[in-house]
Amino acid sequence: MPTLAAHTDLIQAELADVIDVFDREIRSDLAFVNDLTGRIRAYRGKLLRPQLLLLSGKACGELRPEHITLAAVVEMVHMATLVHDDVLDEADVRRRSPTVNRLVGNEAAVLLGDYLISHSYHLCSSLGSTRASRRIADVTNTVCEGELLQIANRGNWALNEDIYLEIVRRKTAALTSVCSELGAESSGASAEIVRHMAEFGMDLGIAFQIVDDLLDLTATQAEMGKSVGRDAEMGKLTLPAIRFLQRADASGRERLINAMSGGANGDELQELLGGGDAVESSMDTARSYVQSALQHLSVLPGSDARDALAAAAEFVTLRRQ
């Protein structure tokens, strides 16, 4: 199975700098706070968002110190959303380790997420321009709106694909979009190229979330390294369930609704959803967004960085975690 690391050797030094800036920024003079922030190091995965920002910058020009700062900022925002998501989903496992909320409770986890958000803005304010700070603040608001929209539609068995995709755009894709947008903009790219890079990140983020939702239904906790099946248990309809409900007969609809309302386990859902084409058609939709993302890269000159961005996009539908 291909990995992102195989395509990102050209930014390994910068990624190390990003991690260093991240760790220095959130360091506290309180040992207890440092213990808490130390726990989120286990949350670090592929560093997809910093990679997108750095590779976008490199594909559009030269990397500058502000790219390192911005990459650390977007990772802080992302980490904060993970900590808060685990509270909302009552999750026990993340990156094959116990979640912060499981270890120290919801109160500390919520405050730790707030601490990360606060530090992300503190770090971003060190940049000479307020443009990036305003964009990241705007996107963070959008992420919160997406989560609120999803919560408002828990148990909404009539949820349609348009609303589902709006949730995905806001809660996930908005952040990946701003990564590639700011990466290009900070390298001095033209407004047209910045627009294409923002669209690249948006399409990639939508594909990523569709696949993530599919894996929540079809993968095991061992494969994912985090709690799975939580969407169904919380009454969150994702694309395969929406399509199943649209196409199923009355009996099939009733079975799925009853299963999700009663906290279905993964085997039940896989059995129900596996009887039709809901899973495969949802993966086809993710692949179509990846193809759209790749088309936006055509405005860039050929380079190793552009190739790495293309490889990252193609990786999305191949991953199992």
**Cβ(36)–Cβ(104) under 8 Å?**
yes
pLDDT at 89: 82
Residue 303 domain-assigned? Answer: yes
Residue 219 domain-assigned? Answer: yes
Residue 215 domain-assigned? Answer: yes
Mean of the per-residue pLDDT values of the chain? 88
Residue 321 domain-assigned? Answer: no
pLDDT at 12: 93
Nearest to 75 by CA among 125, 133, 21: 21
Q: How confident is the model at residue 224 (pLDDT cuts 50, 70, 90)?
A: very low
Q: How confident is the model at residue 256 (pLDDT cuts 50, 70, 90)?
A: confident
Q: What digits encode the pLDDT tens for the residues 294-313?
A: 999 999 999 999 999 999 99
Q: What is the mean pLDDT of residues 73-79?
A: 95
Residue 279 domain-assigned? Answer: yes
pLDDT at 146: 96
Q: Which domain holds residue 116?
A: 4-315
Query: What are the b/e assignments for 129-152, b being 16+ CB within 10 Å?
Result: eeebbebbbebbebbeebbeebee
227/138: higher pLDDT: 138
Residue 320 domain-assigned? Answer: no
Q: How confident is the model at residue 226 (pLDDT cuts 50, 70, 90)?
A: very low
Q: How confident is the model at residue 65 (pLDDT cuts 50, 70, 90)?
A: very high
Nearest to 71 by CA among 126, 22, 27, 112: 22
Q: How confident is the model at residue 94 (pLDDT cuts 50, 70, 90)?
A: confident
Burial of 294 (0-12, 13-18, 19+ CB in 10 A): middle
Q: How confident is the model at residue 96 (pLDDT cuts 50, 70, 90)?
A: confident
DSSP code string of 173-201: IHHHHHHHHHHHHHTT--HHHHHHHHHHH
Least confident of 73-87, 206-220, 280-294: 206-220
Model confidence at 64: pLDDT above 80: yes
Two structure tokens written together for 232: 């169904």
Model confidence at 18: pLDDT above 50: yes
Q: What digits encode the pLDDT tens for the residues 187-221?
A: 999 999 999 999 999 999 999 999 999 988 876 55
φ and ψ at 157, to 5 degrees?
Answer: -75, -10
Q: What is the mean pLDDT of residues 150-166?
A: 94
pLDDT at 310: 95
Nearest to 45 by CA among 234, 208, 169, 288: 208
Instruction: Give the helix/strand (H/E) hosting 94.
Output: strand 93-94
Model confidence at 225: pLDDT above 70: no
Domain count, the chain: 1
pLDDT at 161: 96
CATH number of the domain enclosing 108: 1.10.600.10
Least confident of 4-8, 171-175, 201-205, 287-291: 4-8
- Rg over CA atoms, the chain: 19
